Structure 1
Amino acid sequence: MVKLRLRDNESIQDAVRRFRKLVEHSGIKKEMRRREFYEKPSESKRRERRRARNRARVNQMHLG
């Protein structure tokens, strides 16, 4: 959970900007997008395998 306390003489715009940054860094937004729709276990496994393949390909390019 993200908590934000207003600082002395802090404008609302600055507080909202800090809040957005805190939410972004905590990963809440990413988690919400991930849970927006149900993903079958087979789809999530396929997505993870694809990410691993891409990571391996990028690592090979950096080494080669």
Structure 2
Amino acid sequence: MQPDAFTIFVRNGNVDGALRILKKKIQKDGILFELRKKEFYTKPSEQRRQKKAAAIARNRKKQNKRVISKGAKK
């Protein structure tokens, strides 16, 4: 099995462009997010609490979007 690795080619000595592409790929795959999430141990109760808080925030954001798109009710 081949490890999941990124291969970025530097064309014409353009290291800055290659670095930008690498950063985009890392961001898209969520590698940095996973790294930060796994940096410290979180208890299962804390994970549930964070998950619930994220769900509430998503729901609140969705409701706000819905109100804005339909217009304010009188």
Instruction: State the TM bucket, normalised to the shorter chain.
Output: 0.7 to 0.9
Alignment TM-score, normalising by the size of structure 1: 0.79
Equivalent residues, number: 64
User: 1:1-64 maps to which residues of 2 (within 5 A)?
Assistant: 1-6=4-9, 8-64=11-67
Unaligned runs of 5+ in 1: none
Q: Aligned-pair RMSD on alpha carbons?
A: 1.8
Structure with greater helix percent: 1
Unaligned runs of 5+ in 2: 68-74
Segments of 4+ moved more than 6 angstroms: none
| Greater relative contact order, per chain length (Cα 8 Å cut-off, separation 6+) | 1
Structure showing greater radius of gyration is 2
Alignment TM-score, normalising by the size of structure 2: 0.70
